[in-house]
Amino acid sequence: MIKVILWDIDGTLLDFKEAERHAIKKCFKLFGLGECSEEMLARYSRINRSYWDRLERGELTKAEVLVGRFREFFTLEGLAADQAEAVNTEYQQQLGETICFRDQSYELVAKLKGQVKQYAVTNGSYIAQKKKLKLSGLGELFDGVFISDEVGFEKPNPRFFDYIWERIGRYNEREVLIVGDSLTSDMQGGRAAGIRCCWYNPDGLPLPDGVLIEKEIRNLWEIEDLLKREPL
């Protein structure tokens, strides 16, 4: 029986792409960088994803990701790269301003409250995530929040999950379910921790060869069905 759900935030409970679009466009306006077109936004998004992938592989530190992505993006677009650090600082604030729930996730988490323990597990920056959780109201629903900046390790590092077990207690591995959109940080991290893994794949992306997952869902409310029947 599932007793604990570890929820990813960005791209799972909340629409990260929409928040990203708002934050980038607002920063361009505040710093007088001109218009950020959809094509430029797409290029930034690809660069940003590549930096987070390198973080998950242990190739970069969080600080190198947050500033480095903007340096590379600005250089590519012919903008002043020396503004990268200042833009990133503002970006963290703006990133938490746009709250867009995936699949009415607030109602789902609220409905499951009391039925199972629910925790947020995120690699996002402390500033952005704290703001999102407060403005969205999700922070008040969770039994706890684990942000990599506070933990000291990022998913999929097993030490991220060891930190969680030290604070919530040990459960049987079949009693814990992680739900997230990332095959690397969420699913790989869950597998390394020995817990049950549920891939949130709303766009129906093909599963890469060699990647093993336990369960795939297209809508977050499918979690209700998972809680009613065993095994996954």
Q: Active-site residues: which are they?
A: 8
Phi and psi based region of residue 35 (left: phi greater than 0; alpha: psi -120 to 50; beta: remaining): beta
Residue type, 128: A
3-state secondary structure of 10: strand
**CB-based contact 36:76 (threshold 8 Å):** no
Q: How far is CA 231 from the centre of its chain?
A: 26
3-state secondary structure of 120: strand
In three state form, how does the secondary structure of 162-218 look?
HHHHHHHCCCCHHHEEEEECCHHHHHHHHHHHCCEEEEECCCCCCCCCCCCCCEEEC
> What order do you get walking across the sheet with 144-147 strand by strand?
144-147, 117-122, 4-7, 176-180, 196-200, 215-217
Nearest to 68 by CA among 94, 41, 87: 87
